[in-house]
Each structure stands twice: as structure tokens, then as C-alpha cells.
Amino acid sequence: MDQATQEKALAALEREKARYKRQNAWTAANYERQSITLPIGTKDRIKAAGETSINAYINKLILDDLDRRGV
């Protein structure tokens, strides 16, 4: 790899790192992160139910329940 190509690659890597840093900062400022533990097989059951992701399914359940409760 010649010097110019290597410099371009390093510059692109730095831009990507800066983009990830901005995205992570925005996410930290706008979202709360929670960790859950599910029994083995739950992920497959959620996928079989046609949900796009476990996160989307959990978000939908929580928000629907909070709306139902009027919170």
C-alpha cells in the first residue's frame, strides 16, 4: 500500500471512530440501557412470533403496558 492510500485509510478510520463516538454520546443522552436475562429458547419464541427483534418486542410490551395503565 502506498503512502497516500495508507493516509486515506487512516483518515477514514479516524472519521469512523469520531462518528461512533458521536452516535454513542447521542444514544447515552437519549436512551436508558437495561439488561435482562431470559430463559433459553425465549429468543427463538419471540422470533417465531414474527417480531423483528427482541428489543422491539420488549419495547412494545413495556410501552403498551404503560399506556394501558395511564402512566
Domain count, the chain: 2
Question: Domain of 60?
Answer: 35-71
User: According to the model, what pLDDT value does residue 52 have?
Assistant: 86
Clarify whether residues 10 and 27 are in a common domain: yes
Clarify whether residues 40 and 67 are in a common domain: yes
Clarify whether residues 68 and 53 are in a common domain: yes
Contacts of 9 (CB under 8 A, 6+ apart): 1
Clarify whether residues 25 and 39 are in a common domain: no
Clarify whether residues 39 and 14 are in a common domain: no
- Taken in order 5, 9, 11, 15, the sign of the CA dihedral is positive
Q: What is the pLDDT of residues 12-57, one digit of tens each?
A: 999 999 999 999 999 999 999 999 999 999 999 999 999 889 999 9
